[in-house]
Structure 1
Amino acid sequence: MVATREQYLMVASKFIENGDMGKALVSLVEAYEKLGRDSEILELIYKIFVEPNEELFKRNYSDAKEITNIGYDELLLDFIPINDTCFYVFDKERRKFDGIVDIDCFEDDANAMQFEYCSMIISEEWDLRKYFDELIKKRWQCIFVVGEGLEARVSSFFKLHGVVKFFNQVLFVENLETLSAFFEKYPDEYLPKIIMGNDVHKYEKLIYEMHKRRVEDLKTKRENVLLSICIPSYNRGKIAFESVKSLISLPFDSEIEIIVSDNGSEIGKEYYDMIEEMRDSRIKINRFKENQQYEGNINQVIKMATGKFIMLSSDEDKIGMEELVACLRFVVNHSWCGAAYVQELVEDNLGFFDNGINGMMTASFCNYITGVFLNNSLIKEHNIKEFVLNHHDNAYVTNYTHCAYAIALASYAPFVRLSIRTSDYKEGQIKEQQLREASSNENKVFSYAWPEARAAMLSGLIDIFAELQETLSKDELFELLEWQMERTYFLLSLIYKQSTQDFKRRYTWREACNHICETVLEICNKYALNQEYREKIIDDDEAYSKKFVCVNE
């Protein structure tokens, strides 16, 4: 037997007298639904529960003025509060209650959440409650809501406290054809990677076809590249070809460009030819007729890059879907940094380093090029490329060109060092070692590894720091000098242990250390470091020489 209108009102009144507004609302909603949608009961619900909160709803909705054109009075859903985070949903057009919405999940600080690198589509569905779990995971670049007449319903959710903060940008589109026309008109807009809602397969097909057209379009200028993946290569055409082939198989187009520079290779030319013949709008390739050395090849890929960020990658390190997603996420969430070293193998000295001496010192440890990120906007703004080119005679710049860029950028903006898997570089580093060992049966010392070469690089690095940081104090300069001196002894010890026989044809371990120590003392003279600093250097020499190699010579 259905209760009468008076009975429902009596029960609701008792709950209100006892201060239990939630139960009172439940009773009134039940009365409205069971008594033929009684308009007087609805008016009572609005008077007691909605009108006292109307100004709050309007203030919340005012935060959405940048993402929707629907006026407040045009919204089709109202929310009747059961408590601070739980509401009945009332469909004004259909004049019926449509369940409950709980916004407790939106209480987190949206500003503290990471941005997602991509956008999503919600197809032919207005009820955001179904997608709350996905919506709150990341701050999506854009959410495309596709379907006729959905904007007034979807926008209604922005009346609820905290919801709009999770929507970076929303674009309402009437149908599939309009969405297709949008991406045709704006080829630099990134295609959505997540699709939810109804008839998902239709939208998946559209995105696939749009992606295919974009990579085949060799005429349209690409002006919104997020990440330039730069691959300097020499005599490893087959490896480079496999890396590029892996990259172009991934479902990214406007977001990336793939830049390969062949440094005048004599081996594997046919594979560089195959890269050049790939009909793919994402690929750029340079072919030097003669070897330009490491420095020239790095400068070339950076010159060709148009992305907001550059990621340097060894030709042997394959980047798969998981790794590229990690790269793109890193870039969209660290647009403020000047440079970064992001590798899974990086385990120590992690974090964020302010621009200046700390960031620059950390940037000098980006030995392996894969995972070095450079802010291309800042390279152009501060003429970093010209700075590097002007120091062509600096031994450090010649041998560690990628580090020179990172150090220069770290003088202007923070440096980041994180442990994130951005490529299959473990395999790459093993291959690199195998290739080097295979290059000589006698395990010879490479030219860059001799004490005189290491000493020249150390001296060159100090000169770079001194020029970029004119206000460097004597203590800061000495701290840098000690740090780099210890590192140089360590690097020398590696080649001494690996190629002892060849090394000892020219130097004993003590003689090698003497060469470095003498260079450091010359640097002290050059930068007017007094006798106290010089005595510390002599003590450091004794300590470092014994720390890394135990020999009696």
Structure 2
Amino acid sequence: MCNFITYNDMSIEVYLVDPGKGGKFYIGKKLGRNGKEYKILDISRNGTYGNKKQYGVPNHMQAMTVAPVKDGVVEEILAYGIQQFEEKKYDAALDAMVLAFTKGYQREWILANIYSCYMDGNEAEFRECYNTCCIYKDISYTECCLDFIPYKDSEYYIFDKMEQKFLGIVSVQEMFQAEELKREFDDVAIELDWDWRKYKESLKWAFKHKVYAICHDRKRAASFCKIPEFVDCFRKIKAFADRKAYQKYFHEYTGVVLPRFFLGEEGSRQEFVRIWEEEHAYRITAEGRNKDHILLTIGIPTYDRGFLS
């Protein structure tokens, strides 16, 4: 279990919680440490705590839960989060911690504990997934701007390390509930800033179709490759930095089928159509004709061929 209170100099007070050692502490009492004030939210005597001591097992352990006090008032959201975590209600605890962080309470302290309690044990898996399916090989794991804090099953809070703020939740289940692409044999082209949540169908379609993506914010877009459930999707996505690189690829590799289905803003879709028309026109010229995949078709008439047919 991760302990949100990491200050070593509180160990003496915890020791004195034991009635045999004085027992001078009680719920609601305030403690001062290093110029900061804390309030006792709960006390574990003999290993039990909570309402009517319904949590824990009698084991002679002494402990207490405290929360920071600001301007004489306990930061109740933060206090609630700490209590939820101690009761092993980790989803509710994370909700409260994120809300407290957003409101500006103890930001450095909260973030350090969120990473310690929710991220550290998952870091190796995130790194392995990223290295397996990263869509931009020139962007290393450490260069990614976004981290994904495990929340509920297959749900993650998005934390922007550059902006130092939370950007909501990404739900894998919701992403995979998108409709199937009705064009069974068509590939897909998509243009986006970085947020794959805006075009959640593109990741689901990557299971069956080739997806070509233009991502303008590459370090944020590539960050999604950390999510374990998306590994198989991103393996089938070819990403470009801009439209010029996208068109150059199809101009050079004329054996690759041009995508016919487009996702993005209206301006993006119009640009995809323009590129398709230009490259299609080039491919039917002598210079642009592909010579690697030649299909020979022999047609045999089956109608009105005479009595010998």
Q: TM-score, normalised to structure 2's length?
A: 0.65
Q: How many residues align?
A: 232
Against the structure 1 CA distance between its residues 63 and 105, is the aligned structure 2 distance closer, same or farther, given a 3 Å change threshold? farther
Against the structure 1 CA distance between its residues 103 and 92, is the aligned structure 2 distance closer, same or farther, given a 3 Å change threshold? same
RMSD: 3.1
Separation of aligned partners in 1, 2:170 and 2:130? 17
Residue correspondence of structure 1 range 35-434 to structure 2 within 5 A? 35=104, 38-64=107-133, 68-104=137-173, 117-139=185-207, 142-148=210-216, 150-198=217-265, 199=267, 200-215=269-284, 217-225=285-293, 228=295, 230-234=297-301, 432=303
Q: Per the alignment, in what secondary structure is the counterpart of residue 144 of structure 1?
A: strand
**C-alpha contact (below 8 Å) 2:207/2:236 kept by paired residues:** no
Q: Per the alignment, in what secondary structure is the counterpart of residue 250 of structure 2?
A: helix
Separation of aligned partners in 2, 1:79 and 1:5? 29
In structure 1, the gaps of 5 or more residues are 109-114, 235-313, 315-431, 440-445, 449-553
Q: Per the alignment, in what secondary structure is the counterpart of residue 293 of structure 2?
A: coil
Against the structure 1 CA distance between its residues 103 and 7, is the aligned structure 2 distance closer, same or farther, given a 3 Å change threshold? same
Q: Per the alignment, in what secondary structure is the counterpart of residue 136 of structure 1?
A: helix
Against the structure 1 CA distance between its residues 175 and 134, is the aligned structure 2 distance closer, same or farther, given a 3 Å change threshold? closer
Shift of residue 33 of structure 1? 0.7
Shift of residue 66 of structure 1? 7.5
Looking at both structures, which has the greater relative contact order when contacts are Cα pairs under 8 Å and sequence separation is at least 6?
Answer: 2
In structure 2, the gaps of 5 or more residues are 1-69, 178-182
Against the structure 1 CA distance between its residues 72 and 36, is the aligned structure 2 distance closer, same or farther, given a 3 Å change threshold? same
Shift of residue 82 of structure 1? 1.2
Q: Per the alignment, in what secondary structure is the counterpart of residue 228 of structure 2?
A: coil
Separation of aligned partners in 2, 1:125 and 1:66? 14
More helix by share: 1
**C-alpha contact (below 8 Å) 1:106/1:162 kept by paired residues:** no
Q: TM-score, normalised to structure 1's length?
A: 0.38
Separation of aligned partners in 1, 2:192 and 2:154? 27
**C-alpha contact (below 8 Å) 2:149/2:156 kept by paired residues:** yes
Separation of aligned partners in 2, 1:95 and 1:140? 36
Match of 1:476 in 2: none
Separation of aligned partners in 1, 2:286 and 2:122? 56
Rg larger in structure: 1
Shift of residue 16 of structure 1? 1.2
Query: In percent, how many aligned pairs have the same letter?
Result: 25
**C-alpha contact (below 8 Å) 1:85/1:104 kept by paired residues:** yes
Separation of aligned partners in 2, 1:85 and 1:139? 18
Shift of residue 206 of structure 1? 1.6
| Residue identity in the other structure for 2:239 | F
Match of 1:454 in 2: none
| Residue identity in the other structure for 1:194 | F
Against the structure 1 CA distance between its residues 13 and 201, is the aligned structure 2 distance closer, same or farther, given a 3 Å change threshold? same
